[in-house]
Amino acid sequence: QVQLVQSGAEVKKPGASVKVSCKASGYTFANYVIHWVRRAPGQRPEWMGWISAGNGNTKYSQKFQGRVTLTRDTSATTAYMELSSLISEDTAVYYCARMGVAADYWGQGTPVTVSS
Amino acid sequence: EIVLTQFPGTLSLSPGDRATLSCRANGTVSGTYVAWYQLKPGQGPRLLIYGASRRATGVPDKFSGSGSGTDFALTISRLEPEDFALYFCHQYGSPPWTFGQGTEVEFK
């Protein structure tokens, strides 16, 4: 069965960077795009960007352009999201999602807390 | 950017009730690319409906979606205890992807 398993919770200081992983299994990793979405406490989800697992092409939301980097390791069937220059407003749960008919399978979420 | 507004913010209902959740866009959603998700604490979102009205794999037929253009709805025909959760609408037809703010279906 399709599964996306994300790395564990992170606590970071303002100005630091965080890198979240998303390990895919149960399907052909290279055939799909992976999107990243975050949801801050009590807020609506926000789309951050996507990466093609096959060729590595990326597209970023203008809001996060310059601060977010999406990569993937096809041999490890894992996608990564790195967010830099963290501020308190980046405190959120970060999700990866596979793009099938829609965003059909999601990771369990990785809480990231930014606090001094 | 397409802004999605969900209403009501909270639905207080009992098991066996019918739930109707609404989602309105501030512009036409291209290709009826609207999805609905269920979110429970500690879990990732679960896709229920895509293409406005198509049930995702394994989703029971108590869940149905409807709508086009700017107005969309999710109906849960008979609520069961496991259906009390947070629900989001989402449009993926016009970049950037956007989401509604959510409707909480809670026990009355």
For chain A, say whether B55 makes contact (Cβ under 8 Å): no
Give CA separation, A111 vs A45, A48, A94, A97, B46, in Å.
13, 15, 6, 15, 18
For an interface test with A, give the residue of B5, B50, B97, B99 to mutate (most A CBs within 10 A): B97
Q: What is the pLDDT of residue A21?
A: 98
Q: Checking DSSP bridges between strand A68-73 and strand A78-83, what pairing results, if any?
A: antiparallel
The per-residue pLDDT for B106 is 96
Give the model confidence (pLDDT) of B16-51 as tens digits: 999 999 999 999 998 789 999 999 998 999 999 999
Residues of chain B positioned with their CB less than 8 A from the CB of A107: 44
d(C-alpha A44, C-alpha B97), whole Å? 12
Closest CA relative to residue B8, chosen from B65, B84, B79, B73: B73
Q: Which residues of B72-104 are buried (b: 16+ CB within 10 A; e: fewer)?
A: bbbebeebeeebbbbbbbbbbbbebbbbbbbbe
The answer to whether residue B88 neighbours chain A at the CB level (below 8 Å) is yes
Name which of A44, A105, A109 is nearest B99 (Cβ-Cβ).
A44
Report the sign of the C-alpha dihedral through residues B68, B86, A108, B4, in that order.
positive
The pLDDT, as a whole number, for residue B32 is 86
Share of chain B above pLDDT 70, in %: 100
Is A101 a residue whose pLDDT tops 90? Answer: no
By C-alpha distance, the chain A residue nearest B100 is A44
B86 contacts chain A (CB < 8 A): no
| Residues 14-53 in B contacting A (C-alpha not used; CB under 8 Å) | 33, 35, 42-47, 50-51
In this predicted structure, the answer to whether residue A111 has a pLDDT above a threshold of 90 is yes
How many CA within 13 A on the CB side of residue A71? 9
Asked whether the predicted pLDDT for residue A56 surpasses 90, the reply is yes
Instruction: Choose among B44, B96, B99: nearest Cβ to A107.
Output: B44
Enumerate the residues of chain B whose CB falls inside 8 A of the CB of residue A108: 42-44
**Searching chain A, which residue's CA lies closest to the CA of residue B95?**
A61
What tens digit of pLDDT does each residue of A1-49 get? 999 999 999 999 999 999 999 999 999 999 999 999 999 999 999 999 9
pLDDT, tens digit (0-9, with 9 covering 90-100), for B42-81: 899 999 999 999 999 999 999 999 999 999 999 999 999 9
